[in-house]
Structure 1
Amino acid sequence: MEFYFIQIGLALMLAFVTYSLSNKINRSANRYLAILFGFISLLFTLPLIGEYFFEEWFGVDIVLESIIFLIPSFLYLSVYHFVNRPNYFLKKHYLLFIPFIMVVMVWMFLNSTETNRLFLENSFETFDAFLIIALFLFSVIIFYYVIKMLIKHKKNVLKLHSNKQGVNLNWLYNLILVFPLLLIIHLVFEISSEENYFVYFSNFMLFIILFYSGYHILQQREVFDLTPRQKFQFVNEPLQKVSFQKEELIDKNLVLEIANELEKLMEEEQPFLNKNLSLSTLSDKLNTRTHILSFVINTNYNVNFYTYVNKFRLNYSKSLLKNPKKQHLSMEGVAYESGFGSKSTFNTLFKKHIGMTPLQFKNNENQ
């Protein structure tokens, strides 16, 4: 019982924290995520309410079953807004709530008369099994589309950011993959006739999942860090005009002009030293559109934004490793001064592009 109260408190705290963050970063995504955590806390609260205030438990149980159908829906909405530029609630998103509405309507019908309530009470196990199967199928469909969005997002991050930490959404990807594992474990417990132990196991796992989510939510950065000018453009221009497609015709002279300005900016102002440099920030400095700058980088240098920026950081780090006045810096210090988000990223990219570790490079230069 005490463990239930801890989970309720943790879920409510996450809902509050996530909603508070929505005023600062990832506005729509965090709000949908906050609602999701709110429903999770409700799933823990309703059984306690039903136990103490309702004599007919099956009614509360059906309410629980209907609320569960909202969790995959709000997970989808949250991920959708994490991986897409600021957008409105689309008409197709109403389809996400059809299973919930159908369950509520059936529940209301079965509780509308004494005869129907008696039928529900006698057939509760069958009805409950049907809901579990429906929830499973609905969740599988949602998880498929969510994972598909996240895989696509992993590729798009390299086009938009120079530092993947906090924007690649790996934590959400890992979190979603946990649920099929829990289902398999649940089936194992049922086959072994030890289903009751799964209740304790699932409660413990959910406790870990909530902590894991909370940690990464606090680490999450703005995925689309639009400047005030870019936000104004998105709000005041038709959505179809704001496009990332390379097929849009761009004047070759304009491409060459932007490429020259870009080289000059990178050499003189060294914006790559900012570990959170994004395509949006850089395009704003050049007074151009993000899709045009992305096109310029892709066509002129045959690399994505992530690789382009980190090549400047690698060259800068090499100069630090060679500089006698910077020999006191640790490898972590060199990484951060060069604009990398972490030492591990620095080491990985350095070895990939230079052919040796930063320490080996430093030792070779000092011989």
Structure 2
Amino acid sequence: MDKINVLIIATIITLFISLLLIFFLLTVKTKDKTSNILFAVFLFINAIDLTDPLFGLMFDGPSNLGMFKTTIAFFQIPIFYLYVLSVSYSDFKLKPKYLIHAIPFLIVNVVLVPRFYAVDAASKMDFIINRRNMIELQFTHILIHIQIIVYFTTIFMLLKKAKKLYLENNAGTHINSYNWLFQFTTVLAILYLIVIVKNIFKFSEYPYISEGIKVGIMVLQLFIICWYLFKALNNPDLFRNIDSKLKLVKDIVSEEKTNTPTVVSDKEYNEELLKLQRYMNEKKPFLNPSLTIQDVSNEIQIPVRDLSLLINHKLEQHFYDFINAYRIEDAKSILKDITKSKVTILEILYEVGFNSKSSFNTAFKKHTGFTPTDFRKSL
């Protein structure tokens, strides 16, 4: 089977799976449709970009539609960036200001008007044949490479901040979703890095290497989409947990150093700490798997800002770890209780406020050095 046939088969299979996933994202029942719609748009734009082999079979020679289809790729990473924003922040809404992300797409199409869009078919063919010497295409490739680097750098910084905000303000187990999204973004970044390498060879003396890499990219995209489909089917409700207006503790501390600081006496600090510890031991709010720092603040009447500084700064613990420490202590008590020796690890993790076996095992080992099963056996 020759290379062209492999490319066409990979294209058809990938398009089919992409359309299946798009259908799933648009029809699955969830209260937050925006994230699903954005990812569906990302997949649709990616699917359009994948149609090059099929497009070549349907049309003879270059066309305005074909070139326009190629430039739509400038929307891929911006849409993925908006998708990451939407799943990271609970108050995300599509706003007119996001149209700014369309600027590279508009610039490229304007640049292509004089010597491609506005000329006859023969001139278009000459433009494509001499593409390695056409400054417009060189500009287009440089711009999209810059776009890829800038956006992925921004996305990784966004995920790092969102995860830290989550740890400082939430004690749910959705942290696994952030880890998964980071992994998925990393895989996509590697894929686009391969695309950059392919494009470099495309304008070199070895264009055939570019074509070989293109086949590999098609196959890799197929596996990535299948992987995401598997994840999406197992996690139909995408998380949205953080208010974008929240500030990191380090920023709050920095503000207090800049502004006139509020003097908090050791006595007041100790009173707040005792109040917090008494509430945790008596009311056991950590049994709520979706507990937030706002919930605790409302119950003990300590402002969120002060409570956040108390836990995340003074105690030098993320709220997430602070709450999990209580959950693990409760789990240890159950594991030590001889009368509850028949209670399974799964039942225990749900009882103490976890709703994920992986997060329970990770937290338990972090606080005790043992897995729950090993801890029970050591007694």
Task: Provide the TM-score with structure 2 as the length reference.
Answer: 0.75
8 Å CA contact retained: 2:293, 2:319: yes
Q: What residue in structure 2 maps to residue 174 of structure 1?
A: 186
Q: What residue in structure 1 maps to residue 109 of structure 2?
A: 104
* CA distance 1:183–1:262, shift in 2 (3 Å): same
8 Å CA contact retained: 2:198, 2:209: no
| Deviation at residue 85 of structure 1 after TM alignment | 4.6
Q: Please tell me the residue identity of whatever aligns with 2:62.
A: W
Which of 129, 151, 159 is matched with 1:142 structurally? 151
| Deviation at residue 129 of structure 1 after TM alignment | 4.5
1:24 aligns with 2:38: no
Post-superposition CA distance 1:109-158 (Å, at most 9, x none):
4455445x544331222344442232112211111211221222332231
8 Å CA contact retained: 2:156, 2:182: no
Q: What residue in structure 2 maps to residue 122 of structure 1?
A: 126
Q: What residue in structure 2 maps to residue 13 of structure 1?
A: 20
Q: What residue in structure 2 maps to residue 267 of structure 1?
A: 281
% identical aligned pairs? 23
8 Å CA contact retained: 2:168, 2:312: no
8 Å CA contact retained: 1:350, 1:356: yes
Q: Hey, what's the Cα distance between the residues in 2 that align with 1:23 and 1:108?
A: 43
1:202 aligns with 2:202: no
Unaligned runs of 5+ in 1: 227-233
Q: Hey, what's the Cα distance between the residues in 2 that align with 1:176 and 1:3?
A: 18
Q: What residue in structure 2 maps to residue 72 of structure 1?
A: 77
Post-superposition CA distance 1:159-185 (Å, at most 9, x none):
133221224432333233322552476
Q: Please tell me the residue identity of whatever aligns with 2:127.
A: S
SS in 1 for 2:353: coil
Q: Hey, what's the Cα distance between the residues in 1 that align with 2:126 and 2:182?
A: 45
Q: Hey, what's the Cα distance between the residues in 2 that align with 1:279 and 1:341?
A: 18
8 Å CA contact retained: 2:169, 2:319: yes
Q: Please tell me the residue identity of whatever aligns with 1:40.
A: N
Post-superposition CA distance 1:4-62 (Å, at most 9, x none):
3332232223333334469523x54443222211212222457635633x444343331
Post-superposition CA distance 1:82-131 (Å, at most 9, x none):
3345144567644321110112223444455445x544331222344442
8 Å CA contact retained: 1:65, 1:131: no
Q: Hey, what's the Cα distance between the residues in 2 that align with 1:350 and 1:197?
A: 48
Q: What residue in structure 2 maps to residue 301 of structure 1?
A: 315
Q: What residue in structure 1 maps to residue 176 of structure 2?
A: 165
State the number of aligned residues.
349
Q: Please tell me the residue identity of whatever aligns with 1:69.
A: F
Q: What residue in structure 2 maps to residue 340 of structure 1?
A: 354
Q: What residue in structure 1 maps to residue 4 of structure 2?
A: none
SS in 2 for 1:318: helix
8 Å CA contact retained: 1:314, 1:350: yes
8 Å CA contact retained: 2:330, 2:352: yes
| Deviation at residue 314 of structure 1 after TM alignment | 0.9
| Deviation at residue 201 of structure 1 after TM alignment | 1.5
SS in 1 for 2:176: coil
* CA distance 1:291–1:94, shift in 2 (3 Å): farther
* CA distance 1:179–1:288, shift in 2 (3 Å): farther
Q: Hey, what's the Cα distance between the residues in 1 that align with 2:270 and 2:27?
A: 44
Q: What residue in structure 2 maps to residue 222 of structure 1?
A: 239
Unaligned runs of 5+ in 2: 1-7
Q: Hey, what's the Cα distance between the residues in 2 that align with 1:266 and 1:13?
A: 47
1:39 aligns with 2:45: yes
Q: Hey, what's the Cα distance between the residues in 2 that align with 1:37 and 1:290?
A: 39
Q: Please tell me the residue identity of whatever aligns with 1:223.
A: R
Q: Please tell me the residue identity of whatever aligns with 1:160.
A: N
Superposition map of 1:235-246 within 5 A: 246=252
Post-superposition CA distance 1:297-354 (Å, at most 9, x none):
3356331111111011110111011111221234444334333344444344333323
Q: Please tell me the residue identity of whatever aligns with 2:188.
A: I
* CA distance 1:185–1:324, shift in 2 (3 Å): farther
* CA distance 1:4–1:85, shift in 2 (3 Å): same
Q: Hey, what's the Cα distance between the residues in 2 that align with 1:186 and 1:108?
A: 26
8 Å CA contact retained: 1:46, 1:64: no
Superposition map of 1:251-262 within 5 A: 262=276
Task: Provide the TM-score with structure 1 as the length reference.
Answer: 0.77
Q: What residue in structure 2 maps to residue 82 of structure 1?
A: 87
8 Å CA contact retained: 1:351, 1:357: yes
Q: Hey, what's the Cα distance between the residues in 1 that align with 2:263 and 2:238?
A: 34
CA RMSD of aligned residues (A): 3.7
